[in-house]
Amino acid sequence: MEGGAYGAGKAGGAFDPYTLVRQPHTILRVVSWVFSIVVFGSIVNEGYLNSPSESEEFCIYNRNPNACGYGVTVGVLAFLTCLLYLALDVYFPQISSVKDRKKAVLSDIGVSAFWAFLWFVGFCFLANQWQVSEPKDNPLNEGTDAARAAIAFSFFSIFTWAGQAVLAFQRYQIGADSALFSQDYMDPSQDSSMPYAPYVEPSAGPEPTSMGGTYQQPASAFEPEPQGYQSQGY
């Protein structure tokens, strides 16, 4: 199965780093991986504030711990998911089973679409909580740039993950339209059940009674195909 349908290289082929980094879905995974680091890193480092009148830290997003918790959780899980599918991109050319390749591409479609939805929810949640935050809770405007960065990169992540889902769906369509996707397909060079090429008797000429309708003749790459049956006189 060619790289255009289900990854870089043919099934069972050697790993090619240059081909891998040129794949659009791999590029989007790396970009999504970076975006996830920005989101959870911004919230972890500057998303919690201290108040002189309070002993405990509070979330910069309207004092809502669920907002910060959601951003960190989604960011960390997206980070791990990107690493998982980057590893799958590396291993993909080694997968020779059509069923396994199909499952990998289908999982890529579902997981990418799911993460696009989670990032959409995260963007709406963080943006809403930031909008209703009270200025008195942060009079010195500490961590405001980090809070805005988390919101912005949550928004960007919607499109990078949606793009991965679209690319995976295109790969699935290309594979589904290919003859190599068929479960019954077998490479003729690997088919040991047919050692000889079948010979079909031509319609013209007398029909030999001893040979039957067809017979098996050894195939040769250096000899021309037989053009007919010639009877021998004795």
φ, ψ dihedrals at 217, nearest 5°: -125, 135
φ, ψ dihedrals at 48, nearest 5°: -120, 130
Give yes or no for a contact between 40 and 75, defined as CB atoms under 8 angstroms apart.
Answer: yes
Token representation of residue 155: 């928004």
User: Which stretches of 31-129 are assigned E, i.e. beta strand?
Assistant: 48-49, 58-59
Give yes or no for a contact between 34 and 94, defined as CB atoms under 8 angstroms apart.
Answer: no
Q: pLDDT by residue (tens digit) across 58-98?
A: 899 999 999 999 999 999 999 999 999 999 888 887 888 88
pTM, whole model, 2 decimals?
A: 0.68
Predicted local distance difference test score (pLDDT) of residue 188:
43
Q: pLDDT by residue (tens digit) across 192-219?
A: 544 444 555 555 555 544 444 444 554 4
Q: Checking DSSP bridges between strand 197-200 and strand 58-59, what pairing results, if any? A: unpaired
Q: pLDDT by residue (tens digit) across 129-179?
A: 999 988 887 777 888 899 999 999 999 999 999 999 999 999 888 876 664
Look at residues 206, 197, 196 and name the one whose alpha carbon lies nearest to residue 228: 206
